[in-house]
Chain A
Amino acid sequence: MHELSIALSIVEMAEERAEWMEARVAAVRVRIGPLSGVVPEALASAFDMAIEGTALAGARLVIEESPVVILCARCGERRPLPSASDFRCPVCGAPASEVVGGAELLVTALEVNP
């Protein structure tokens, strides 16, 4: 359960931005890939704990879950995978040799009230 420490980093980053923009954060948007090792549900609960008593109190966390994406050597195409426990091209079945997405752990945007 390292989601609390991840949530604290998100809050710290959002607070800095909000202070700099002199705005109040209504929501934080994050993107999480299945290879990041972060469980979205656990992060959502941890975020609610982490914002208590901070400038972000009351803010929402909007989680966008991104898929694992491979570059299939056989098809020559980027393919999102339906599951992180089957690294084969969903179209041609070739084992994935190059993974180009799925480890994201990003704050993508803030929704702020001026």
Chain B
Amino acid sequence: MTREPRIVEVRRNILRKNDLAARELRERFRGAGVFVVSLVSSPGSGKTAFLERTLASLGARFKVAALVGDLATENDAARLARSGALVRQIVTGAVCHLEAEMVRSALEGWMPPALDFLFVENVGNLVCPASYDLGESLRLVLLSVTEGEDKPLKYPPIFHGADLAVITKCDLAEAVGFDWQAAARSVEAVHPGLPVLRVSAKTGAGMAEWLAVCARLRAEAISAASSAAS
């Protein structure tokens, strides 16, 4: 006589290890007063150009650094280092996304003291990074005008998990006939209320507004952390 299989309740988060590592990172960043901004997007949406300009501008007033995830090359780190910021590349090999543990180990013995901002550029991919918390304070999703207005509808998890959407390459919007209203509708459909900024890293349009938002959110995070501590 064969016995029936028994059902054992488990209820375990599959990404528990990552979530724990991310929580540790978040606490560590908060303790050190570092505001961590991560960037996700599809390949070629202009993450590196946007970050290059951001680092150069913020670097005049703040201590900034960046971690850059890439499958194979160190080109992006070399580009970003020209801004004068401290930059470290995470070459992920075959891995299509960053995980909290990769961020932790990249910071090991490297994280500069008294840092104000740390930017973490994820691997260009709108699917896999959605599952992994990196301990960041702010997650940006970038969408370039050359990609089409319905990207959010095709990739709901990544747009839903972001705190701010940045539409890049705005200088090309007219040339490609980008429909701003359609883009706003698709963002709203997958993440009601998600703030959207428009920038062009090439002309600098919209960068001042983004930098002001970035500095304001950091100030708010610091005051929230100090009032929680007191």
Contact = CB atoms under 8 A, between A and B. Distances in A.
Interface of A: 1-2, 5-6, 9-10, 13, 17, 21, 23, 26-27, 30, 34-39, 84-88, 95-97, 99, 103, 105-114
B157 A36 contact: yes
A106 to B, nearest CB: 6
A52 B15 CA distance: 21
B3 A113 contact: yes
A96 to B, nearest CB: 6
B10 interface: yes
B182 to A, nearest CB: 14
Nearest to A14: B10
Q: How large is the interface on B (under 10, 10 to 19, 20 to 34, 35 or more residues)?
A: 20 to 34
Contacts of A5: 95
A17 B8 CA distance: 10
A109 B157 contact: no
A113 B7 CA distance: 9
B202 interface: no
Nearest to B159: A85
Given A85-B153, A112-B8, 12 more contacts: A2-B131, A6-B15, A85-B152, A85-B189, A105-B13, A106-B14, A107-B10, A108-B9, A108-B10, A110-B10, A111-B5, A114-B6
Contacts of A17: 8, 10
Contacts of A9: 14-15, 17
B161 interface: yes
A31 to B, nearest CB: 9
Interface in B1-53: 3, 5-15, 17
A84 B6 contact: no
12 contacts: A2-B96, A10-B14, A35-B156, A38-B131, A84-B157, A84-B190, A87-B160, A95-B188, A97-B192, A109-B7, A109-B9, A112-B7
B6 A111 contact: yes
Contacts of A13: 10, 12, 14
B94 to A, nearest CB: 9
B156 A112 contact: no
Nearest to A70: B192
A107 B9 CA distance: 9
Contacts of A108: 9-11
A34 B5 contact: no
Nearest to A6: B14
